Amino acid sequence: IGLACDRGYNPDAVAAMSPAGCPHVSSFKVDNWKQNLRVIYQCFVWSGSAETRKRKAKSCICHMCGAHLNRLHSCLYCVFFACFAKKHIHEHAKSKRHNLAIDLLYGGIYCFMCQDYIYDKDMEQIAKEEQRKAWKMQGMPHYTALVISPRQHSTGEKYSTWEPTKRELELLRHNPKRRRITSNCTIGLRGLINLGNTCFMNCIVQALTHTPLLRDFFLSDRHKCEMQSNSCLVCEMSQLFQEFYSGHRSPHIPFRLLHLVWTHARHLAGYEQQDAHEFLIAALDVLHRHCKDDNGKKANNPNHCNCIIDQIFTGGLQSDVTCQVCHGVSTTIDPFWDISLDLPGSSTPFWPLSPGGDGSALNGESHATGATTLTDCLRRFTRPEHLGSSAKIKCSGCHSYQESTKQLTMKKLPIVACFHLKRFEHSAKLRRKITTYVSFPLELDMTPFMASSKESRMNGQYQLAVDPFNNDNKYSLFAVVNHQGTLESGHYTTFIRQHKDQWFKCDDAIITKASIKDVLDSEG
């Protein structure tokens, strides 16, 4: 998975709403606003009874163009339905100065002043209560518990996994035909609405929801939450996976996820430009803290944790510091979730690259075009570095401060390796994006960069005994995050692999088919 550390900023999406919430909701909260909102949810959004569903089907059409689709919204101030996609609801809001509307499919509240879907605690509570009632009327109590809160019902009952009834078992026996995953299946592909400069979040969410082991964990209902409040990010991710693999094709609105990210990672709150790589690390950190390991202990120690996040993403980075006098070696091993790689063109000197015998051929990469490869960046990352006289360390063998060399290698590889190309350079004198093209392969062998391979390195060259049957250190590409634009203004997109050799480009709400060439030619 390639993750670019770039900033996405849309100058047209002006931040009008603070992390504390929308300031325009107060104008709606007058008189019997709660009862009015409940009626809207009951009749036009969740529609629990057959009668309300019929009423919704007949009534909910755009009052301007007569369409049933195009993301219908209802004005909260008057009985007026209009489509969001063609901006008919926007025209109504502008002419009538009715600033709030509700999405009739998902129940999200949109503020035309903030130009964003908003979160309000009171409104959210009403939405949940009415959704729970509607599902109960439709005979879906367990599903209610899973979607609203994977922890417990409003009645306080402990969540229990779904078991088929006798009637359902009978139906399954008489209908043996099952939905099969075919090569052209689009299940799991779903766009995400940009909530105002949130492409940095959307691109990482697409990568995470297409991480195979993470998908299997969440779709098999493995998370057992004991948090008292509705603030568990793991529970929200669980619902997000349900949304992605529900079969719905309309774009999902991840406003609850955004609110939880703002709650648990304050440095990402607001609508100013944000960093996709920074969001990934923050999301993994919060998920890690909200997870429990297999022994039922909270994941407080990153070095001794068995939660799903650490099982999939955590590796071990070995640092060897060698004294230049006695050649004594001091070794430390630290956990890591990603590997940040310097690029040529940065102010940090990039060592001369010599083709051949360096792992590039092993990974199917070539210097024929003069392009820098991912293997080149990994070679630089794992090369010995002379620390110099200004960074002397106290040698345990010499018992004095001596010059030394430092070398990083991989002691333990994670199941999913995240490579972060450091495209943005920030210094006292310089702020810029490094646009150097870095080629990367579909299959990557990390054997040359393992601590166990260090002894076979001679003069910066890798002497490798290639074992075609050993796949322990080999990776297959399944997601690439890209940034288009400059440091001041840009946009994030993601390439994800749906099946073998089936690639798609995720650009917020838009999902399009992509070729392998499109993926490998991308900046990364």
Active site residues: 199, 491
Put residue 196 in one of left, alpha, beta given phi > 0 → left and psi -120 to 50 → alpha: left
Put residue 320 in one of left, alpha, beta given phi > 0 → left and psi -120 to 50 → alpha: beta
CA-nearest of 280, 290, 254 to 340 is 280
CA-nearest of 105, 126, 109 to 44 is 105
Q: Where are the alpha helices (DSSP H) in 351-402?
A: 374-381
In total, the chain counts a number of residues equal to: 524
- Total Cβ atoms within 10 A of residue 410: 26
- Total Cβ atoms within 10 A of residue 501: 10
Residue with tokens 């163009």: 65
Residue with tokens 């570095």: 385
DSSP code per residue over 229-260: SS--HHHHHHHHHHHHTSS--SPB--HHHHHH
Instruction: Determine contact, residues 501/442, Cβ cutoff 8 Å.
Output: no
Residue 29 β-bridge partners: none
The upper half-sphere exposure of residue 465, i.e. CA atoms within 13 Å in the direction of its Cβ, equals 4
* CA 151 vs CA 110, 142, 159, 213, 337: distances in Å: 28, 11, 6, 22, 28
Backbone angles phi and psi of 215, in degrees to 5: -60, -45
Residue 281, C-beta contacts closer than 8 angstroms, at least 6 positions apart: 337, 338
Instruction: Determine contact, residues 317/404, Cβ cutoff 8 Å.
Output: no
* CA 262 vs CA 198, 204, 231, 256, 265: distances in Å: 12, 16, 11, 10, 5
Q: How far apart are CA 6 and CA 23, in angstroms?
A: 31
Residue type, 69: L
